[in-house]
Amino acid sequence: MEYATLGNSGVEVSEVGFGAWVVGTDWWGDRTRDDAIDMVQHALDEDVTFFDTGDVYGHGDSEEIIGEALAEHRDEVTVSTKIGYDFYNNPQAGHGELPKKVTPEWVHTAVDRSLDRLGMDHVELLMLHNANVDEVDEDVLEALDELREEGKVDAIGWALGPSIGWLAEGDAAVANEFDALQTVFNLFEQTPGQHFIDTIREQNADTSVLARVPHSSGLLNEQVTPETELGKGDHRSHRPSEWYETGWEKVEEIRFLERDGARTMGQAAIQWLLYNDEVASVTPTFRTNADIDEWAGAPDTPPLSDEEYDRVQELYRDNFGIDRDDGMDALRSSVGGADLEETGMKSAGD
């Protein structure tokens, strides 16, 4: 395992992190609480030290599991949580989005409740969860600074949908010198991740990128194939069938990344992200301990050569030679798509 620092915060993260959404909900398969705790601890055994949860994941269940699983290892790990939804006063309706709440008072209240569930006196990283850009005003920024001054938070980040909204939000995070910016990013879905890498470079900013959905919802780790039947409760079933059909064709075009068995496709997808210095950590969706064994080992596989990376980018620019629509264009951005129309960019899905 390799490690990186978030911005100039001094907070260290493992290059492969543990996305704890999976242990707080049944959207990625059912598992017992004991199974969930075992997965977290197995990840730690494999040198994963960055654990990324959120208060809304299972309405606090994920935080409680993370806190229990890591209680005896607190000094060895970096813990991140997210706030920004009022699930306390609103029931969850399927996979629908809950009402957002981002005010200075709520920031303080939500963090205190998260710390209580985690059984911790601070978290290394706090991220605003899908906050709209107009919600994060000077008063909210001051509240985040207060949390740092109080020692409850070491670094600040902004987690993006991105189909809920991302362009103005991510640009604001970079402009306001947030330590971390989390977004969907993989070699099939390079928007918005590549936009933010370009922005960080242009502004010589210190913001680090945290990449989630690195395997494009099961395509790049080949856990979703033409023979796979996704259950009704599987979060990935919301994607259009065209997405998977074109995705399977794209996978065949990048077989060269497996490098004669030196790395799996799932590991290559992570190495593609880590090729960019701005990407501090990747948080794949671990469903089993076998996933952890494979993907936590990705940084130890051969990094992508310049030639391999350039070849992927050339294929991406040509849509991997596919001239059919993948059904994802309807996903909106933060202002209904007008911002993307002006730039010529397309949104990525969740």
This prediction's pTM: 0.90
pLDDT of amino acid 30: 64
Note whether residue 220 is domain-resident.
Answer: yes
pLDDT for residue 332 is more than 50: no
Distance CA 223, CA 212 (A): 16
Does 350 reside within a domain?
no
**Regarding predicted confidence, which is higher, 307 or 217?**
307
Q: Which residues contact 96 (CB under 8 A, 6 or more apart)?
A: none
Structure-block tokens of residue 117: 């569930």
Residues 120-179: pLDDT tens digits? 999 999 999 999 999 999 999 999 999 999 999 999 999 998 777 789 999 999 999 999
Closest listed residue to residue 151, CA positions, set 127, 174, 123: 123
Using DSSP bridges, classify how beta strands 208-212 and 279-283 pair: parallel, antiparallel or unpaired: parallel
In a domain, 127, yes or no: yes
- Token duo for residue 218: 């099961």
CB 78 within 8 A of CB 12: yes
* Local structure of 282: helix, strand or coil: strand
Evaluate whether residue 217 is within a structural domain.
yes
The set of residues, in sequence order, having a beta carbon less than 8 Å from that of 349 and lying 6+ positions away, is 163, 184, 189, 217, 239, 243, 328, 331
Q: Where are the beta strands (DSSP E) in 78-168?
A: 78-83, 123-129, 153-159
In this predicted structure, the answer to whether residue 235 has a pLDDT above a threshold of 80 is no
Query: Where do the DSSP E strands lie in 75-115?
Result: 78-83
DSSP designation for 3: E
Listed ranges 235-244, 262-271, 327-336; the one with the highest mean pLDDT: 262-271
Percentage, residues of the chain above pLDDT 70: 84
Beta strands in the chain (DSSP E): 3-5, 12-14, 18-19, 50-52, 78-83, 123-129, 153-159, 180-184, 208-212, 279-283
Q: How far is the C-alpha of 63 from the C-alpha of 330, rounded, in Å? A: 33
CA dihedral sign of residues 276, 207, 329, 346: negative
Structurally, how many domains does the chain consist of?
1
Residues 51-97 have pLDDT tens digits of 999 998 887 889 999 999 999 999 999 999 999 988 777 666 555 66
Contact 269, 254 (CB under 8 A): no
Give the max Cα distance, the chain: 55
Q: Does some domain include residue 28?
A: yes
Higher pLDDT among residues 232 and 309, named by residue: 309
Hey, what are 75's tokens? Answer: 């000094």
Question: By mean pLDDT, which of 55-64, 151-160, 230-239, 262-271 is the weakest?
Answer: 230-239
- The answer on pLDDT for 228 being more than 80 is no
Q: 227 in a domain, yes or no?
A: yes
Identify the residue whose tokens are 């899908």: 130
Query: Does 285 or 236 have the greater pLDDT score?
Result: 285
Nearest alpha-carbon partner for 196 in 331, 75, 323, 345: 345
Of 210, 321, 219, which is closest to residue 276 (Cα–Cα)? Answer: 210
Q: How far apart are CA 75 and CA 41, in angstroms?
A: 14
CATH number reported for the structural domain that contains residue 252 in this entry: 3.20.20.100
Give pLDDT, residue 24: 60
Q: For residue 349, is pLDDT > 50?
A: no
Q: Is 113 helix (H, G, I), strand (E, B) or coil?
A: helix
180: its two tokens: 């971390």
DSSP state of 217: G
Measured at the CA of 341, the angle between CA 310 and CA 329, to 5 degrees, comes to 70
Q: Is 38 part of any domain? A: yes
With respect to residue 292, please indicate whether it lies within any of the assigned structural domains. Answer: yes
The domain containing residue 171 runs over which residues?
1-345
